[in-house]
Amino acid sequence: MNNLSFRRLFSILCCPPCPGQITSKLAFVPPDPTYTLKRDKSRSRWTLHLSEDADWQYSAREMSDIECFMTKTSRGNRIACMFVRCSPSAKYTLLFSHPNASDLGEMSSYYIALASQINCNIFSYDYSGYGASSGKPSEKNIYADIDAAWTALSTRYGIRPEDIIIYGQSIGTVASVDLAARYKSAAVILHSPFTSGIRIAFPDKKKTCCLDAFPSIDKISKITSPVLIIHGTEDEITPFSHGLTLFERCQRPVEPLWVEGAGHNDVHLYAQYLERLKQFVTQELGNL
């Protein structure tokens, strides 16, 4: 989500053509693509090519740990997917829905580092209209996008739901909550989540209206898997109160991580972030 002036929010909400366009204006900011996917001569394999100005370029060994492909969603879009394998012995795979204003090329170096540090494989995808994915970003598309990713984990890789950790960050928590409310998995991790779109601007709003987008607050109580919520106490985009509210509505919450002094985009830079993830994945999940 992005910071919005009251005047800008008022103009969007008071003169809306339809709720879907409100969602797009409020939430989605696809960056210029940082990568392309190209098929080899046999057309059986896709290769990741990062743009020249990408922050990180990979060695041949790192590239061998990344598999990319395209898959089709129920709404007809083709979305780019990425599977990062850190270890053959990894028990869990994170189904990672990334934050706004990023794509797979930008996130891939983070995925490689995180996968090796917590001994989990990571499967991620680009939302419709992001990176190499076709279509336009919308609330309905983002739900179809994560459904296609969930299906690919099962059909392409044979990964069972009980071995999948659904992980969402920022706007990615919207897709993660929607999926987790419908399918049981090993666990759910929500990193800097928000309760709903309009509640970003009006945090005291009690009921969800018809124009409100991304109503995670109305879905999170349906999640039957264990839920870990991570939030910075000084989040300047999604107030800390959103994380607290969602935590209170969980059926099976685990000990949350409130990162003192962290904002919206720097939680992962604090040592306790990685420590909490390691503890959760390697120790707690086996006992839940």
Note if 53 is an active site residue.
no
Note if 44 is an active site residue.
no
Note if 170 is an active site residue.
yes
The β-bridge partners of 72 are 78
Selecting among 124, 128, 138, 170, the annotated active-site residue is: 170
Selecting among 98, 191, 242, 264, the annotated active-site residue is: 264
Q: Which residues are catalytically annotated?
A: 170, 235, 264
